Amino acid sequence: MFIPLHDAVELKYIRVQYVTIGLIALDVLVWLFTALTSPDVAEHTSLGLGFIPAVIFGYAVLDPSLAIVPDDATFITYSFLHLDFWHLASNMLFLWVFGDNVEDALGHIKFLIFYLICAAAGAALHGLVGPSSEGPLIGASGAISGVVAAYFLLHPRVRVWVLVLFRIPLPLPAFIPLTLWIVQQFAMLALDLDGMVSWGAHVGGIVAGGILVIFMRRKGVPLFDRTIVTPKAVRTQPAANAAIAVAEPGSNPR
């Protein structure tokens, strides 16, 4: 539906989004490992680290020779695996655009905890939707869906540059594309339970992220853009003019 490019929200509490960068780096390194090795190793990694509902809910048992981590650990490990480059790239782009501001609002450690809980929540709902499924769930989209939901609650009025229909660049208030995206996830969960995309993981992450950000954000961090986000370009204007300024994309390019 849309591809995010960048927003205009500056970091207020942290200097660098270390956790966001670290998560992206780890995802890329894991993908490189699986992409540059043999198909057998990649399949073994997916089965050993991916989240398999049938194994978790007792409908099947994973061959011990394929196990890499305890079954319960796959609620987290699956989120660091990706099917191919485009799967990885789309997830990491969403994390890059939206992750830093959520990390800023929560703090480094709480953001990492937040991210992992959203990943686990995505796996949990995916499993509940299809508890007997023997296919491994992989990908960071459950965790990143939580990041998107948190951003939506923190900065709905900030303008975000997006590619609409993957080709038309537009600066839109974040609530427009994000509302459409969130509604799509819930709709597809109801309509496409057997599809290749795990809409359950997306919805699980969204619900977890929306709830967690309310309680985990720093003291004093408002929801729904209750403070005006003013780009650098207008901060030199007189106060009377600055009061009517709105955030314009491009003031903090990524």
Query: What's the one-letter identity of residue 153?
Result: L
- Dump pLDDT digits (tens) for 57-66: 999 999 999 9
- Indicate left, alpha or beta for 62 from its phi (over 0: left) and psi (-120 to 50: alpha): beta
- Dump pLDDT digits (tens) for 126-174: 999 999 999 999 999 999 999 999 999 999 999 999 888 777 888 999 9
- Indicate left, alpha or beta for 10 from its phi (over 0: left) and psi (-120 to 50: alpha): beta
Which residue is listed with tokens 């967690």? 212
- Dump pLDDT digits (tens) for 74-95: 999 999 999 999 999 999 999 9
Residue ranges and CATH numbers for the domains of the chain are: 2-242 (1.20.1540.10)
Burial degree of 245 (CB within 10 A; 0-12, 13-18, 19+):
middle
Q: How far is CA 169 from CA 161, 163, 211, 249, in A?
A: 7, 4, 31, 12
Residues in the chain: 254
Q: Which residues contact 29 (CB under 8 A, 6 or more apart)?
A: none
Instruction: Say yes or no to pLDDT of 8 above 60.
Output: yes
Q: What is the pTM of this model?
A: 0.86
